[in-house]
Amino acid sequence: MKTIGLIGGMSWQSSKLYYEFLNTRANELLGGSHSAKCILVSVDFAEIERLSFENKWEDIGVLMANSAKQLEKAGADIVLLGTNTIHLVSDAITENISIPFLHIAEATGEVIQKKGLKKVLLLGTKFTMEKNFYTKLLEDIYGLEVMIPEIDDRQLVHDIIYNELVKGKFLDTSRKRIIEIIKKEQSKGAQGVILGCTELPILIAPSDVEIPTFDTGKIHAHKAMEWANE
């Protein structure tokens, strides 16, 4: 089994799930008492959050590159970035390490493509929904039509993520409001919904909506563990 390196802490609410997903998948693949071989470098999310809102993405790229180099020096065979939004600076990681980097949108796009869906809704931070680092990859590589909510709905999802989810608050009122957004976009043709913030699946369960949901963190972790056992 190869060793997986995870850059976590963005937020720790979802990073703890990554650890569970990696170990659960390792045991499913190998049975017995098997668990994942992994290394974690966790950052202070307050610093990342501040730099994001100040639009200082180059500074975030430096922090991510340094974390990835730490993982490689510690013996990781592959690097995962346990967040959707910060994949905006994934080039800073790949340019500074010699081991593979598994992009969360690539892992997600592959699963959606296998399901035969063509038109999907993307939910996440405004950075993830409005910048093209995520949608362009899904469109260009996997041929998907990616929908994003209306501007007010995007702001609502963004605020719920930063004001509640990353702080461990999962409110029923917020769950209902996001379900309403999903239903609205379903009526416009969305065949599935990408939960493109790794905390969103804690709030929205597959049974909450009528169309398939894609838990990006779980997909990402499972893909990495399958790679580690090839």
Report pLDDT for 139. Answer: 97
Clarify whether residues 116 and 143 are in a common domain: yes
- Rounded average pLDDT over 196-210: 97
Residues 186 and 97 in one domain: no
Q: How far apart are CA 86 and CA 215, in angstroms?
A: 17
CATH assignment of the domain containing 205: 3.40.50.1860
In the chain, the number of structural domains is 2
Full residue range of the structural domain in which residue 208 is found:
105-215
Active site residues: 83, 197
pLDDT over 90, % of the chain: 100
Cβ atoms within 10 A of the Cβ of 181, count? Answer: 19
* 193 shares a domain with 110: yes
Q: What pTM does this model have?
A: 0.96
Report H helices in the chain.
Answer: 12-30, 45-53, 57-74, 90-94, 104-115, 126-130, 132-142, 151-163, 172-186, 200-203, 216-228
pLDDT tens digits for 72-102?
Answer: 999 999 999 999 999 999 999 999 999 999 9
Considering the domain architecture, whether residues 30 and 130 belong to the same structural domain is answered as no
- Tell whether the model's pLDDT for residue 230 goes beyond 90: no
Same domain, 114 and 23: no
CB 28 within 8 A of CB 63: no
Residues found in the chain: 230
HSE of 188 in the Cβ direction (CA atoms, 13 Å)? 16
